[in-house]
Amino acid sequence: MYYRRYVILVVFLTLVLLHKNLGAQDFEVAPVKLEFNAEPGENQTKTITVRNHSNKKESFLIVMSDFLPSSSGAINYLAPNSTKRSCANWLNINPSFFELNPNDEIPIQISMMVPNDQYSAAWCVIYIQSAQEQSSWNAEKNLGTGMIVTGRIGLLIYQSPKSNTNHSLKISNLVEVTKLGDKERVFSATIENLGEKITKSKAYLIASNMKTAEEKQLPPSEFEVFPKLSRTIELRLPNLLVPGSYSLAAILDYGTKYSLEGTQIIIEVKEQTNIVKPDTIIVKSDTLKVK
């Protein structure tokens, strides 16, 4: 009897917490990325829409933050205007605090004023946060903020002038990183952004049988690389190849206007019943251009 009551209590508390968490972010923001292309000295404005899906009146505020992407693709969030690529101080948000009734929506204007000497790419993130007002007593305990954040949605802000056409990516260092127990062979490579644009790219593997010249191209994976930064990517090779020696190339495609980039190694595919880390014979690892 006591056990049954305990189980019912646990289930009840779980449902209460789940409902609370779901209700903490019952609003929508669209779009969730803004890409500005204002020239130095130019002002440009874009609009987002915030909609309240909850069944009660909600207060919202908008705050800014910087971020730096790591080589693994993870994001490190920092204080606004704390990095040399920050555009947080160039933004004007109207309104930055507002209230919405149930199922109401509001347009928010995001204006970017680019300084006269800024020709490079810049970025930041803004958060649209659902907030609750606190009592005076609680506000004092929370350093006088007067608000409790209950949920937020991040909006990426990118800025790069139209005149900035400096796209340049390079891929290198293709190596096998398969671990014991992996179901597929895994390879890593490094993408370097040598240009001044935030660049979207696709990378894929091509395995060429060195005896038969038969090629197998794998589906691409998409990546985004920021200026003057590098990113380590992982590409997977399914167990579809017949045994033999293969030239394995990682190909980087970042637009029809630019040559494909590539790096390659030689691998051996052996017959095996269990997936363990295969032997990789690296004859050469280099960077190549594909016209």
Structure tokens at 109: 């204007």
Task: Please check whether residues 178 and 132 belong to one and the same domain.
Answer: no
Structure tokens at 189: 């490579």
Cα distance between residue 40 and residue 163, in whole Å:
10
Task: Please check whether residues 233 and 125 belong to one and the same domain.
Answer: no
Task: Please check whether residues 121 and 189 belong to one and the same domain.
Answer: no
Q: Report H helices in the chain.
A: 2-23, 136-141
Task: Please check whether residues 217 and 267 belong to one and the same domain.
Answer: yes
Q: Is residue 10 part of a domain?
A: no
CA angle 83, 89, 92 (to 5 degrees): 145
CA angle 139, 142, 147 (to 5 degrees): 60
Number of domains in the chain: 2
Residue numbers of the chain with a pLDDT score lower than 50:
2-3, 5-24, 134-147, 275-278, 280-284
Looking at residue 284, which CATH number applies to its domain?
2.60.40.10
Please, what's the b/e burial string for 30-55 (b: 16 or more CB within 10 A of its CB; e: otherwise)?
eeeebebebeeeeebeeebebebebe
Structure tokens at 122: 């810049």
Q: Is residue 21 part of a domain?
A: no
Structure tokens at 93: 């948000």
Residue 151 has what pLDDT?
Answer: 83
Q: Is residue 275 part of a domain?
A: yes
Task: Please check whether residues 35 and 108 belong to one and the same domain.
Answer: yes
Q: Tell me which residue range forms the domain holding 193.
A: 169-290
Structure tokens at 175: 């190596």
Q: Is residue 208 part of a domain?
A: yes
Cα distance between residue 138 and residue 143, in whole Å:
9
End of a domain among 138, 159, 180?
A: 159
End of a domain among 128, 159, 190?
A: 159
pTM above 0.95, yes or no: no
Report the percentage of the chain scoring pLDDT > 70.
Answer: 78
End of a domain among 136, 159, 182?
A: 159
Tens-digit pLDDT profile for residues 198-238: 999 999 999 999 999 999 999 999 999 999 999 999 999 99
Amino acid at 13: L
Task: Please check whether residues 87 and 152 belong to one and the same domain.
Answer: yes
Task: Please check whether residues 60 and 139 belong to one and the same domain.
Answer: yes
